[in-house]
Amino acid sequence: MRATLTHAIEDYLKIIYDLSVIDAWVSTSQIAKALEVKPASVTGMIQKLAAVTPPLVEYRKHYGVILTPEGERVALEIIRHHRLLETFLHETLGFDWDAVHAEADRLEHVISEEFEERIAQVLGDPTHDPHGDPIPDRDLQMPVHATTCLSELRVGQQARIERVRNDNCELLRYLSERGLLPGVEISILDYSPFDDNLYLQVQGRPESIVLGPRITGQIFVELK
Amino acid sequence: MRATLTHAIEDYLKIIYDLSVIDAWVSTSQIAKALEVKPASVTGMIQKLAAVTPPLVEYRKHYGVILTPEGERVALEIIRHHRLLETFLHETLGFDWDAVHAEADRLEHVISEEFEERIAQVLGDPTHDPHGDPIPDRDLQMPVHATTCLSELRVGQQARIERVRNDNCELLRYLSERGLLPGVEISILDYSPFDDNLYLQVQGRPESIVLGPRITGQIFVELK
DNA sequence: AAAATAATTTAGGATAAGCTAAATATTATT
DNA sequence: AATAATATTTAGCTTATCCTAAATTATTTT
Ligand SMILES: [Mn+2]
Ligand SMILES: [Mn+2]
Ligand SMILES: [Mn+2]
Ligand SMILES: [Mn+2]
């Protein structure tokens, strides 16, 4: 019979979706790390997700999982909740850019379809959240969005920041203090090959900035 | 050590607070009925609530429970969340009068103090929710409010509706269809002693209405 | 190809919150 | 005061989710 979608199940599906962007098959330990639980707990859960009807993941022992169409549907539903909530918290309630994630992570499991619909309307059906992440539409289709990573840029290139990975609120605060927000224009001044540092100029700021690969790998841009 | 406030604990404390308005000591079966769980489950929970440090209720076997000051503080905190949320859902998001309760019942456990604070500000620190129930202020003090029950009124008296018990959304829809909302003026046309029916006129409506005691006992008014 | 290392799974437990059925206590009726 | 009806508690189970420790499987290195 059809599975009850508990909060934990929803969080697992959401994280599996996110991780599968990098590689379609997702390993037990990737999930464990992302959710900050032990690998043994992940094995227990993914075996359950694979055993319900209809299955939410396909599971290969000692190899990993991939979302089924049904699992992906549920994941996108929760991701839509999460990103609409982040946008609402920021735009309508005035939460800081870096404070919305934790709040949305709890609310996403609890709001009704009516709540989802009403905040979407209040916000005018936004296509991106405050971090620039795309929001699936009512039919759970993802809008097209930038996939060029800032770490790929080299000297002389210019770009506009589209999105910033949002799971670390210290990083978000660090970036916003330096003006590195979605929509902002940047140009690359220099690149040092051994440490992969990028020297860049943020439009409207006097000083230049140096960013290491741990940061530039989290920022996605649209080339000019 | 200090108890973790789970959703279930919060729901128990909230319901005990509500029930203790009628009688300070609240019985196991009253709680069981209100929460729609079995009495045996209630016994289990209230024993836990009495055993934590500091205790959240005082418990007398085979008699009932009463909230401790700490238990009351937690209850008021959740009631503030609940009623602010109801007001926000109605006023800001345009939810129907009768749809807000169920949504608030889930969200109340999940919102942060920042969320609470921001919706209070957006709403201008309201003192009453859409059903007319008083909202505890930041220091958890309840505003003064009407305690005259509509069922106590007799022929010739006039009053303004202050609040309507909000746990039954069919009743709320029934009432709003007849114009019986907080703020509306009414006058009593007749009273039949055997069935306790009240015949009344709602200001601005052509026809008069007959209400039985199951309804009039749920409506509170301010006498004119 | 064997050994070492890493990743994954199994087994057994913990905690939270509910349930049913049986036992016990309280209150009401005769 | 005894009996009956009601209310409450206890005991034992269930489900969901997480944990640790031990066992197993897969991968990498020598
Ligand atoms: Mn979450
Ligand atoms: Mn939805
Ligand atoms: Mn609740
Ligand atoms: Mn609060």
Kindly state whether B106 is in contact with chain A, defined as any CB-CB distance less than 8 angstroms.
Answer: yes
CB–CB of B107/A110 below 8 Å? yes
- Assigned domain for A46 exists: yes
What's the structural domain count of chain A?
Answer: 3
What's residue B224's pLDDT? Answer: 87
Q: Which residue has the higher pLDDT, A194 or A134?
A: A134
- Assigned domain for B129 exists: yes
What pLDDT, in 10s, does the model give residues A66-82? 999 999 999 999 999 99
Tokens, residue B188: 């009593």
**Bond prior to A69 in cis (omega within 30° of 0):** no
Burial class (CB in 10 A: 0-12, 13-18, 19+), A142: middle
Q: Assess whether B86 and B108 both reside in one domain.
A: yes
pTM: 0.87
β-bridge pairing B57-60 and B64-67? antiparallel
Question: Helix, strand, coil % (nearest 5) of chain B?
Answer: 40, 20, 40
Q: Is the predicted pLDDT of residue A53 greater than 70, yes or no?
A: yes
Among A46, A67, A88, which residue terminates a domain?
A: A67
Kindly state whether B32 is in contact with chain A, defined as any CB-CB distance less than 8 angstroms.
Answer: no
- Note which residues in 70-99 of chain A have CB less than 8 A from chain B: 89, 92-95, 99
Q: How far is B119 from B93, CA to CA, in rounded Å? A: 11
- Assigned domain for A72 exists: no
Which of A115-124, A144-153, B108-117 is least confident?
A: A144-153
- Assigned domain for B72 exists: no
Chain A residues near residue B95 by CB distance under 8 angstroms: 114, 118
Task: Among A7, A105, A112, A119, pick the best mutation site for testing chain B contact (most B Cβ within 10 A).
Answer: A112
Residue % of chain A over a pLDDT of 90:
80
Q: How far is A201 from A209, CA to CA, in rounded Å? A: 6
Beta carbons of A114 and B94 less than 8 Å apart: no
Task: Work out the pLDDT band at A1, boundaries 50, 70, 90.
Answer: low
Distance A114 CA to ligand 3 centre (A): 18
Kindly state whether A169 is in contact with chain B, defined as any CB-CB distance less than 8 angstroms.
Answer: no
CB of B156 within 7 Å of some strand D atom: no
Kindly state whether B104 is in contact with chain A, defined as any CB-CB distance less than 8 angstroms.
Answer: no
Q: Assess whether B182 and B136 both reside in one domain.
A: no
Task: Work out the pLDDT band at A147, boundaries 50, 70, 90.
Answer: confident
Q: Could you list the pLDDT tens digit for every one of the 224 residues in chain B? A: 577 899 999 999 999 999 999 899 999 999 999 999 999 999 999 999 999 999 999 999 999 999 999 999 999 999 999 999 999 999 999 999 899 999 999 999 999 999 999 999 999 999 999 999 999 999 999 998 777 999 999 999 999 999 888 777 788 889 989 999 999 999 999 999 889 999 999 998 999 999 999 899 889 999 98
Query: For position A191, which CATH number holds?
Result: 2.30.30.90
CB of B203 within 7 Å of some strand D atom: no
Residue among A89, A102, A119 whose CB faces B93 most closely: A119
Sheet holding A185-192, edge to edge: A148-149, A219-223, A158-164, A185-192, A197-202, A208-211
Q: Assess whether B138 and B83 both reside in one domain.
A: yes
Question: Helix, strand, coil % (nearest 5) of chain A?
Answer: 40, 20, 40
Q: Which residues constitute the domain of residue A169?
A: 148-223
